[in-house]
Each structure stands twice: as C-alpha cells, then as structure tokens.
Amino acid sequence: MLEGLIIGFQTALSLKMLIVVIGGCLIGTFIGMLPGLGPMSIIAIMIPVAISMGDPAAALILLAGVYYGAIFGGSTSSILLNAPGVAGTVATSFDGFPMTQQGKAGKALTIAAIASFCGGTIGAILLMVFAPMLSSVALLFHSAEYFALMVVGLSAIAAFAGKGQVAKAVLMTVVGLIMATVGEGALFNFPRFTMGLMDLQSGFGFITLAMAMFALPEALFLVLHPKQISNSEQGDIKNLKITRAEAWAIAPVIGRQSIQGFFIGVLPGAGATIASFLGYAVERNIAPKNEQGQFGKGSIKGLAAPETANNAACTGSFVPLLTLGIPGSGTTAILLGALIALNVSPGPRMMVDEPQIFWAVIISMYIGNLVLLVLNLPLIPYIAKVLSVPRNYLIPFIMFFTLMGAYIGQNNATELLLLVGFGIFATALKFANYPLAPLLIGFILGGMLEDNFSRSMQLYDGISFIWERPMTLMLLIIAAILIILPSWRSNFGRKSHS
Amino acid sequence: MTLERWISLIFLGIILTYGYTAWFAMDSNMAPFMKRNPIWPSTFPKLLSLLGIIVSLFILLGFEKDDQRRAEIDYRRLGDYKIGQAVGLLAMMIVYALTLRSLGFLISTASFLILSAFILGERKWLVLVPVGVVASFCVWYLVSEVLNIYMRPWPHTLLF
C-alpha cells in the first residue's frame, strides 16, 4: 500500500494534476450551484473534455473533482436558496436554509464545507484501506463470478430504488441492457438490431445517452417549471466564522456520519441520497430531547449530518467501481463509461496494471476535499453570483453544451437527432417517475455482462457454470432475493393492511 | 390508465419486436460454423426479451404497489407549465442538428443561442446578439484550437 501511495502522490501532486483537480472542483461548484443541474448532468457535459485530455488518470481526476465540486455547489444552492440541485443535498436544506433565513448563511456554508471535507477525507482513508482488500479477493473471481456479481449489482440498484419503484427500476435496467446489444459486439463481430443503418453499426453513443438521460430532461424541466430564485434572504454570507463550542458540537456527528455514509455509499444503488437522509434521521433520533426540537429549524447538527454523510457516500461509491468495475450509482456509471472510452477497464486488475490511475484517484480525493475547503469556501460569495445569470441565457447554454457533448463525442450530426429523441423519451419517463440511472448503468454494464456470460457459457459448454461454481450460485440467489423480497414485502404489506 | 402503465405498454411493444428479431429473424443470417458454439449472438438478447416482457407485464397489470411519490411536474396539468417554450427549444435543437454541417458552426450556434433566448422571452437584442456571437466564437476556438477537434466554422460557399 505504501508503494501505491507514493505512486499516487507522485502522479496526483504533479502540477498538471493539481491544475486539473482545482479546475474540476471549481467548475463543479460553479455549475453544481445552478438549481436543477445535478452531478450526473455536469459530469456528462464534462466527459468530452476529459476524454480529449487523452490521459486516463487526468480524466478521472478531473471528473472526480467535478463530482465533489458539484455536490458542494448543490449544498450551497440548498443552503442559500432552498433549491437543491441534486437529491443528495435535499436533507442539507432542512436546516441549512432556516439558518440562511436567520442571517447565518456564512456560518451554514462553513459548517457544510467542514462537514463535507471531513466526510470526504475520512471516506478516502476508508477507501484506501478497503479497496485493496476487496481487489485482492476479486482477483480470485472468474468470468462466471463476474457475471453473477454484475447481476447482483444491477439487482441491488433496483432493490434500493424505493417503494413502488422496484419493477420500474428493473425494467429500466433491462432496457439499458437491450440498448447495449445494438450494434456489432466485440465478441461476435455480428451486427445486431441495426435495422440496416450504418450509424447504428457501432451501437448507441454512451455520451449521447448520458446527456439524453440526465442533462436534457433537467434543462427541459427548468424550462417547463422555472424555479423561484431569490437572493433576498441570504443574510450575512461573508461571515464564515464558527465558534469553538459549535465545532465541538458537530465533531461527533461528523465522525459517526463519515463512517456510516461511507458504508452506505459502497452499497450499489444506495448512494448519497439515502446516506444523507439516513444520517439526518439517525442524528435527530440520538440527539438529546432539548436539541431534537431544533432539527428543521436551523440546527447545526442537522446540517452537518447530511453534509458529512453524502460526501462520505460519494467516496464509498468509488469502492465497487475501482475494485470490481461495477458502478454503484449513475454518476460512477458515467465515470466507468469515460474510463472505457479511454481504454481503461476498472476492476481488480486496475490496481496491479494501472496503479498510477488507481492511487492517483484516491490521493486526488484528499486534494479535492482540501481545494473545496481552502479555495472554494472563501470564493463562495463570488461564485454565488452565477445564480444571478438570467434563465433566458442560462438554459440555451445548457442545451447547447448538451448538444456539443454529443456531437464532439461521436462527430456525427445524427447523434444530435438521437439525443433529442432520447431526451424527449427520458423526459416522459421522468414525468412517470421512472428512475433513469438504472437504464444508463444497464447500458454501460451490458457489454461486460454479456462478455462474461458468453465466456462462462463457452467454458462450461452451457449454463452448468451456475450450479458448478458455488460462489456464482450464491451470488445469483442473492440477486434473486434482492429483486423478489421488496416486491413480496410490498404486496404482503398491502394484503395484511387490507 | 396512468402514464407509467402507458410507458410500460410502449416498452412491451418495443421488447416484443426486439424479442421477435432475436428468436425468429437473427439466427438465419448466422454463418454455419457459429451455430456449433454453445452461445449465439441471439442468446443474450433472447434472455433479455423474456425478462423484459415479464417486467413490463408486471407493471402494466398493476402488480406493483402504486408509487406514492409525485413527479416534480404533474403531466396531467402540462398546460399550466411553459410547454410552448419547451417545444420551441426542442424544435431549435432539431434545426441546429440539421443545419450544423450546412451552415457551419459559427452561424448555426450563434443563431441557436440567440433564437433560443428569444423563445424564452429575451428581448434585449443589444445584449443578446453580442453574447451569442462571442460565445459561439469562443467555443469554436476552444474546441478547434485547444481540443483539436475540427469543426467547419463557415458554410461551404464561404470557403474559398
């Protein structure tokens, strides 16, 4: 591990990488502050830039910096405007916005920044400890176990989708997997479902799909339903100081939520949103009776808990990506897509074959968190000016960057028409509350899932690998339980209720 | 029928077509030597089609308990939202896709930015036009000169 850390520091502390991580954090904060634009959209927009850099380590560090910056920026708009840019920062607004209304906007931003810094940093330490352990176990896996593990990952994403959403999430995953089969697969060299169109020979573009699923529907929602933005209640934004007593009060909250948030983030499909809500609920429940009433009215503990948890969860979500090559969330799925485009396959071999990327990403997480605390926090009053950009200018630019992302990614104008088509369909899916992230995760994992399935079939001359390899069988049983249990409980609950 | 069930019905139609291709049409184009393999190009799509049909029917027939969460926008009251602007912007995106090559990057992008802002209600031409033109040029410079991705700036006829 020590050798890896040295490699990581050498790569991440080069001038180029420092500029990349600082730039990524600033861009992420800047755009993440805009209500309606979540980290997934921002990362999707930034992918062409990252890929054009040609260096996988720099690309992943840039995107990770953008990710952290976007979460931080989302917290800022939650605190200042009560307009969370992303679901993971909704819980931040419960106590952050009341603090702004009480004229403590600067204090709230400082607490959020410190909590984010600690959550992210403790998360990075835990990642450093657990990722190599998981990688060494995963090296023992064969293609059959990989296939089963991916099925577990996809099932978990559906299982954690929430009440009334499991079947929809499964359907979205299957649709993503179906879309991944379009075109000439590497394994068969045989055109499938191309309908004779040359443009579909290489399949659907990942960037086009990412833009269509996240950036375009969010931009259309901003057009349809402009969010009320008011700068009148920001209070004393420039006073960033917190007292010693306040620091002591939030310290145990930060400690608990860093660990809890990290482990929730590791679970596929759980992620920052569940971590932040759970963190808030846990801290409210264990708080002394006289402090419980303060939650929702500007409690500093209520603000620190979700902020710590969501950042630790973001770091945790890198564990399955870096060690198993399986994305646990929409954001890490987009990162995986970017890495594949750069000919890097995350997984247990990554730590052995590409240690400079693996460790540089981990080290850049420390640096990214430090950048957010040291550089971004004092700049917040100035960065917040972005909120005054008129909607009439902002929306055309978001749409234009969406179009550019798809065009640069494939250099094909047909992609733009596909983008609009998929974007309209994704908006309709959003109207009906269909989760969109499983579709993209299914699409990205589809190729790998089929490859591993096909290899196992060839090795065992059929599907006997399912029962001949106990680990595969166990993982597939877990996957089945993950899918069936929520639906069964939901229906059982309905019957017993009636 | 609710929108979520309509969407599952559309998916069912798409997956049935996909499944038909996988089960009955795809294998006929396959080379004879490939047929000796335990796995065919159609094997995985066949499995996916079965799974997709089951899940679509599960939603369509209402086996899953209704989702109590409401979407951010109520599709039944679309008239209350700025639907005209959204449709106008989508039309602008299609026009942009169709004219990007023929008009060149600078004219099509500047037109897209200016007209989209106009659709959203912007009428300050003295600000709007310079912003659109300068932004188009800056992006073209960044993409072409910094990222080294060629994009023709002007229409064919303007090239000498």
Same domain for B17 and B64, yes or no, is yes
How does residue B93 score in pLDDT terms, banded at 50, 70 and 90? very high
For A191, list phi and psi in degrees, rounded to 5: -70, 130
pLDDT tens digits along A281-319:
888 888 887 887 888 888 999 999 999 998 888 888 888
Helix axes A355-371, A2-12, angle to 10 degrees: 60
Same-domain check for residues B94 and B38: no
How many domains is chain B partitioned into structurally?
A: 2
Residues of B in contact with A164 (CB under 8 A): 64-69
Is residue B74 included in any domain, yes or no?
no
Strand stretches in chain B, DSSP E: none
**Contact indicator for A65, A28 with CB cutoff of 8 Å:** yes
Phi then psi for residue A242, to 5 deg, are: -125, 155
Residue B107 is predicted with a pLDDT of 93
Is the pLDDT at A389 greater than 90, yes or no?
no
Q: Which of B69, B100, B121 is the last residue of a domain?
A: B69
Q: Could you say which of A397, A433, A458 has the minimum Cβ distance to residue B37?
A: A458
A199-226 per-position pLDDT tens digit? 788 888 877 888 888 778 878 888 887 6
The Cα A479–Cα A92 span in angstroms is 33
C-alpha A393/C-alpha A379 separation (Å) is 23
Mutation site for B-interface testing, chosen from A27, A150, A192 by largest number of B Cβ within 10 Å: A192
DSSP-based three-state secondary structure for A192: strand
Q: What is the DSSP string of A465-488?
A: HHHHSHHHHHHHHHHHHHHHHHHH
CB contact under 8 A, B93 and A420: yes
User: Domain ends where: B69, B96, B113?
Assistant: B69
Q: Is residue B13 part of a domain?
A: yes
What rounded mean pLDDT belongs to chain A?
Answer: 81
Is position B76 within any domain?
no
Q: Is A285 exposed, middle or buried (0-12, 13-18, 19+ CB in 10 A)?
A: exposed
> A64-73, A185-194, B33-42, B115-124: which has the minimum mean pLDDT?
A185-194
CA distance B155 to chain A (A): 15
Q: Distance between CA A166 and CA A161 in Å, rounded? A: 6
Please name the member of A163, A171, A396 whose beta carbon is closest to the beta carbon of B55: A171
Residue A183, classed as helix, strand or coil, is strand
B86 within a domain of the structure (yes/no):
yes
Per-range mean pLDDT, top range of A28-32, A159-163, A470-474: A470-474
φ/ψ bin of A36: left (φ > 0), alpha (ψ from -120 to 50), beta (otherwise): left
**Is the per-residue pLDDT at A87 higher than 70?**
no
**Of the ranges A14-18, A252-256, A478-482, the best mean pLDDT one:** A252-256
Q: Is B100 found in the same domain as B147?
A: yes
Chain B hits for A397, Cβ within 8 Å: 113, 135
Domain end point (choices B38, B69, B100): B69
The reply to whether B79 touches chain A by the CB within 8 Å rule is: no
B18 vs A contacts (CB less than 8 Å): 178, 193
Amino acid at A486: P
A403, B116: Cβ pair inside 8 Å?
no
Q: Do B107 and B39 belong to one domain?
A: no
CB pairs under 8 A between A and B: 189
Q: What is the mean pLDDT of chain B?
A: 86
Range of the domain at B48: 3-69
Q: Which residues of B touch A423 (CB under 8 A)?
A: 90
Of A407, A424, A491, the CB nearest to B65: A491
Tell me the per-residue pLDDT of B145-160, one tens digit each, with 9 for 90 and over.
766 677 888 887 655 4
B137 and B93 fall within a common domain: yes
Kindly list the residues from chain B whose CB atom is less than 8 angstroms away from the CB atom of residue A174. Answer: 15, 48, 51-52, 55
Range in A26-40, A111-125, A448-462, B36-50 with the lowest mean pLDDT = A26-40
**pTM attached to this predicted model:** 0.78
Residue of A nearest to B37 (CA): A458
Give the best residue of A143, A170, A199, A460 to mutate against chain B (max B CB count within 10 A). Answer: A170
| Among A71-80, A238-247, B21-30, B144-153, the range of highest mean pLDDT | B21-30
Asked if residue B75 is part of any domain, the answer here is no
Specify if B39 maps to a domain.
yes
- From chain A, pick out residues whose CB is under 8 angstroms from the CB of B82: 223-226
Residue A231 pLDDT class (50, 70, 90 cuts): very low
Please judge whether B41 and A462 are an interchain contact, meaning their C-beta atoms are less than 8 angstroms apart.
no
Residue of B nearest to A483 (CA): B55
- pLDDT value of residue A372: 82
| Of A448 and B134, more confident | B134
Mark whether B100 and B54 lie in a shared domain. no
Chain A contacts of B89, Cβ < 8 Å?
220, 223, 395-396, 399
- B88 and B40 part of one domain: no
Q: What is the mean pLDDT of residues A316-330?
A: 80
* Tokens standing for residue A258: 């860093």
Q: How far apart are CA A39 and CA A334, in angstroms?
A: 10
pLDDT surpassing 50 at residue A12: yes
Poorest-pLDDT segment among A93-107, A230-244, B7-21, B139-153: A230-244
Contact flag A396-B116 (C-beta cutoff 8 Å)? yes
B51 touches chain A (CB under 8 A): yes
Residue B77 covered by a domain: no
B114/B50 same-domain check = no
Give contacts of A450 with chain B, Cβ < 8 Å.
44
Q: How far is A433 from chain B (nearest CA, A)?
A: 6
Q: B138 and B94, same structural domain?
A: yes
- Whether A223 sits inside 8 A of B85 (CB atoms) is yes
Q: What percentage of residues in chain B have a pLDDT greater than 70?
A: 89
CA dihedral over A39, A44, A50, A51, signed as positive or negative: positive
Determine what percent of chain A is predicted with pLDDT higher than 90.
9
* pLDDT for res A271: 67
Distance CA B147, CA B97 (A): 21
pLDDT band at residue B66 under the 50/70/90 scheme = low
At A230, the pLDDT band (50, 70, 90 cuts) reads very low
Do B57 and B13 fall within a single domain? yes
B124 and B87 housed in the same domain: yes
Task: Write down the pLDDT at residue B87.
Answer: 93
Asked if residue B153 and residue B88 are part of one domain, the reply reads yes
Q: Answer whether B122 sits within 8 Å of A171, measured CB to CB.
A: no
Between residues B129 and A28, the one the model is more confident about: B129
Is residue B141 domain-resident? Answer: yes
The beta-carbon neighbor of A188 closest among B41, B82, B98 is: B41
Q: What is the ipTM of this complex?
A: 0.89
